[in-house]
Amino acid sequence: GQQLNQSPQSMFIQEGEDVSMNCTSSSIFNTWLWYKQEPGEGPVLLIALYKAGELTSNGRLTAQFGITRKDSFLNISASIPSDVGIYFCAGQRDPSGSRLTFGEGTQLTVNP
C-alpha cells in the first residue's frame, strides 16, 4: 500500500509564481522519481534521482533527493498554464527489486 506522504494535495496559483511540493516517508528509498500526468494520459517522467543529496534540474523544474533518503521535493519556477496537471512522486526502496511506491499526487492549477 501507499507509504509516501505527498503534499500539498492541491495547489491553485497564478501564472509566474513558483511552486514547491514534497514527498516524505518513514522508510529509506534509494531512488526517487517525479512524474506529471495530464487528464486521460499516462504519467510522464520529469526527473529521476539516484543519490542522497542529489539536486537535478530539467528546464524550470528542480528536484532534490533528501539527505536522509526519506524525502524529496520538486520545485517549478515561473509557472505557466501548461504546467497544469497532477504531479506524482515515486520511490524505490529495495535495490534488488523494482517495485515503486507512489505518492497520491499533487493537483496543480495555474491561473493565467
Catalog residues that contact other proteins under the rule CB under 8 A.
1-2, 30-31, 33, 35, 40-45, 48, 50-51, 88, 90, 92, 95-100, 102-105
Taking the complex as a whole, the smallest distance from the CB of residue 98 to other proteins amounts, in Å, to 4
Question: Widest CA span of the chain, in angstroms?
Answer: 45
Nearer to other proteins, 54 or 77 (CB): 54
DSSP H or E run through 92 = strand 85-92
8 A C-beta contact, residue 102 and residue 75: no
Q: Compute the least distance from the CB of residue 34 to other proteins, in Å.
A: 11
Nearer to other proteins, 77 or 102 (CB): 102
42 or 112: CB nearest other proteins: 42
Query: Among residues 14 and 41, whose Cβ is nearest to other proteins?
Result: 41
Nearest to 48 by CA among 92, 1, 2, 7: 92
- 63, 53 in Cβ contact below 8 A? no
Instruction: Give min distance, CB of 68 to other proteins, in A.
Output: 17
Residue 39 carries which DSSP code? T
* Spatial separation of the C-alpha atoms in residues 72 and 65, rounded to whole Å: 5
Taking the complex as a whole, the smallest distance from the CB of residue 46 to other proteins amounts, in Å, to: 12
